[in-house]
Amino acid sequence: MKLCFKKIKQILRPFLLSALLFHGGTQTYYWLNHFYHWHMPSSKRIEFERRYGFPILGWSEDIEENEANLSLIAEVLEKERKTRSFDLTSIRIKSNNYLKKPLWDQFAELFLSAYPVYNLKGRAVVESFNLASILHHEIKHVKINDITESHPEFLKKWKELARGDNGECLYLSYTEQVYVSVKGLESLADGKKQDFSKNRRLGFVSNYARKNVYEDIAELCTLAEINPWEFHGWLFGAKGEENERIKGKVQLAQKYRLIRKDFTELVRQELVNSERFAENSNN
């Protein structure tokens, strides 16, 4: 047995050494870039930190050479500031290039299908792909943490809207949350809880929203920012289309200023305008 184990170690050693050298090189590359921009920030980074009070981090191709990223981030930050203040310590745009990622991002890409990109120290990590949606989502998490500190009843009220007809909690169990987060284990989670149509009927705007109460809140509030027209049917649809759970969650989100206080009225007006437009077009 010992001989067999020793032989396996001999076989694996060169592969492990190669992996260590490879990732060591990528980390040197990543941290050199980080320290360079930290100590010699460009005018765009200086202006961003002056305007918002925290730095923007990442590679030049995602910041200095990508005006669209900066415009989108500015738009999201201004929009979120209008409903409720929040504190971030930094925003990092994560590179799509594996070689330009820190070790924890590389690990996540290899082994995790879903992982947090915001930590409690207020560091938000976003990707160029779907940047606005991701940043809204992470800022919602920051706001949720602030709300629960001063209003602990908030989570309790929200959780009550995520119960089945028999009073059972509809969120994934802790074990299932691990399953859906680790690559290769997703199939071990209850498939019925990943049925998109069923989840929407149960008051979850996405499958990810069913993971836990925090993701439920962040997903619904992000959708309200990105696609408010998605709420037409849930809030004002015909019988059978309206969703009382989503209605209740929207009301809570409005009350605690996670979304605009007049969001429901905004959706109503948008629906009226679209109906008028359709009527005029037919005439």
Domain parsing of the chain, residue ranges: 22-148, 151-282
Distance CA 71, CA 53 (A): 17
Q: CA 256 to CA 148: how far, in whole Å? A: 10
The whole-angstrom separation of Cα 190 and Cα 73 is 36
Residue 154 banded pLDDT, cuts 50, 70, 90: very high
Q: CA-CA distance, 102 to 94, in Å (whole number)?
A: 9
Return the structure tokens found at 216.
């439920």
Q: What's the confidence (pLDDT) of residue 189?
A: 81
Q: What is the DSSP letter of 165?
A: T
Average per-residue pLDDT in the chain?
A: 90
Whole-angstrom distance, CA of residue 29 vs CA of residue 157: 47
Question: What pTM does this model have?
Answer: 0.89
> What span, in angstroms and rounded, lies between the C-alpha atoms of 230 and 232?
6
* CA-closest candidate to residue 88, choices 124, 49, 117, 131: 124
Mean pLDDT of the region 36-40: 96
CA within 13 Å, CB half, 164: 10
What confidence score (pLDDT) does residue 74 get? Answer: 97
More confident residue, 180 or 6: 180
Q: What percent of the chain has pLDDT over 70?
A: 90
- Identify the pLDDT of residue 41: 96
User: Is the per-residue pLDDT at 144 higher than 60?
Assistant: yes
Residue 9's pLDDT is 62
Say if residue 2's pLDDT is above 60: no
- Is residue 1 predicted with pLDDT exceeding 60? no
Average pLDDT over residues 226-247: 90
Which residues have C-beta within 8 Å of that of residue 94, sequence separation ≥ 6?
Answer: 58, 101, 105, 117, 125, 126, 127
Give SS3 for 282. Answer: helix
Give the per-residue pLDDT at 121: 74
